[in-house]
Amino acid sequence: ISERIGCSQSAVSRHLSGKSVGRKKCGKKRCTRRGDRTLRKIVEKDRFQTLGDLRKQWTESGVETSRATKRLTWATEKQHWTVAQWSKVLFSDESKFCMS
């Protein structure tokens, strides 16, 4: 069977024995808290909107693309930094500090 469908013998064995359970929490996360709030606001404006209208407003809000765009801009600005420049950077876990 494995040769015919192009997978390993262990995969066929797990499937036939019923042990081929998918991994939990794999794949892309559904949404963020900010995304949830934005979607709730869009729906509360008009509860009887079509899916197309919701999708249009969702993409116009920029929830999905804003963070990726900011990250890309930041990375291209710092692309040619030297080790000396990077040594002056303080990395933190999403905390804001005022360094004077």
Interatomic CA distance for residues 60 and 3, integer angstroms = 48
Asked if 40 and 47 count as a contact pair (C-beta separation under 8 A), the reply is no
Within a domain: 41: yes
Q: Which domain holds residue 35?
A: 31-63
pLDDT digits (tens, 9 = 90+) for 50-90: 888 888 887 777 766 767 788 889 899 999 999 999 888 87
Within a domain: 58: yes
pLDDT digits (tens, 9 = 90+) for 33-52: 777 888 888 888 888 888 88
Determine phi and psi for 5, rounding to 5 degrees: -95, -10
> Could you tell me the pTM of the whole model?
0.35
Asked if 11 and 20 count as a contact pair (C-beta separation under 8 A), the reply is yes
Residues 6+ apart with CB under 8 A from 47: none
Within a domain: 79: no
Asked if 43 and 49 count as a contact pair (C-beta separation under 8 A), the reply is yes
Interatomic CA distance for residues 78 and 85, integer angstroms = 9
Tally the domains of the chain.
1
pLDDT at 99 over 80: no
Amino acid, res. 56 = K
